[in-house]
Chains A and B, each alone.
Chain A
Amino acid sequence: MVEIIISVFLVFMVIGALIALETTDLLSSVISIGAVGFALSICFLLVGAPDIAITQMVVEVLSLVILIRATIRHDLTTIDGDRDFFGLMATLALIFALLLLGLPAFLSLPPFGTPAMSQMMESPARHYLSGGLRETGAANIVASVILDYRAYDTLGEATVLFTSILGALAILRVYSRKKKS
């Protein structure tokens, strides 16, 4: 049942992504990406990941604000056409070849509904699930993984986020440019 609902949402996301990439108005393409992101959030909710669903919702709203800031004040928002014809055809052929070559790889994965931890007795996920409450005291196992078992990952994430925001501010600041001229 969950598989069918997720398939419907994935078809919706594929259509939304195609509209976002093919429409000429930039504002409507940004809003289509927003629709894709919210469908993704519902998919996360369906596969038992409420933390990711909430985070995806917040991040989606923030990224919509950022993207609309990038597009709305510029009058030249419609650029028609793709790259030149031969290059476009070559790229599409390569993407199609990638699709044909990549699809057999998905057959070697375990089928949908059987995670890798159900086949390995000593997987860390089992350890987290059975001992997470006793060892960390957190009722939410995802929170115990990101804040206790793998806290160094979260430290690195905070570092990357800080660095990227610092880079964006350094690119967008205006006062040092005035001094030069």
Chain B
Amino acid sequence: MIYAMCFILFLIGLYGATCKKNIVKIILGLVVMEYAVNLFLVLQGWRKNGQAPILDGRTNLEEFAARAVDPVPQALVLTSIVIGLGILSLMVAIAIRLYERYGTFDVTEMKRLKG
């Protein structure tokens, strides 16, 4: 149920990336797709009545290993979020340059391939 809703959010981002003319809307569609995938991967690691994988002084290790949520998807998604910021800054830089060259954000107007 929740996984299916993550998939719907991903498809909304795909719709934005494929059907929109404005280049900022295309970037926002890619950002929405990234959010959906990150949320799906973190939800994979959730355990019913789980706790965050952080130890404090009183926790018993055996009980902790039986109750904590999966730390591996969290670590990989942490990497993925930071990389997403780098990709976003690169896309926005290209969009700003395209606006300066063509005077518009409309991708159907960007037809001159020659520099």
Interface set of A (CB-CB < 8 Å, partner B)? 2-3, 6-7, 10-11, 13-14, 17-18, 20-21, 26, 29-30, 33, 36-37, 40, 43-44, 47-52, 55-56, 59, 62-63, 66-67, 69-71, 74, 76-77, 79, 81-83, 88, 91-92, 95, 98-99, 102-103, 106, 109, 112-118, 124-126, 128-130, 132-133, 139-142, 145-146, 150, 153-154, 157, 160-161, 163-165, 167-169, 171-172
- The answer to whether A95 touches B15 (Cβ under 8 A) is yes
Residue count of chain B within 8 Å CB distance of chain A: 81
B residues with CB within 8 A of A? 1-9, 11-16, 18-22, 24-25, 27-29, 31-32, 35, 38-39, 42-48, 50-56, 61-62, 64-65, 68-72, 74-79, 81-90, 92-97, 99, 103-106, 108
Contact across chains for B105 and A79 when beta carbons are under 8 A apart: yes
- Minimum CB–CB distance for A95 against chain B, Å: 5
The chain A residue sitting closest to B3, CB to CB, is A106
Q: How many A-B residue pairs have CB under 8 A?
A: 259
Q: Are B32 and A139 in contact (CB under 8 A)?
A: no
Contacts of B71 in A (CB 8 A): 125, 128-129, 132, 141-142, 145
Distance (Å) between the CB of B59 and the closest chain A CB? 9
Question: Is the Cβ of B19 less than 8 Å from the Cβ of A52?
Answer: no
A82 engages B86 (CB within 8 Å): no
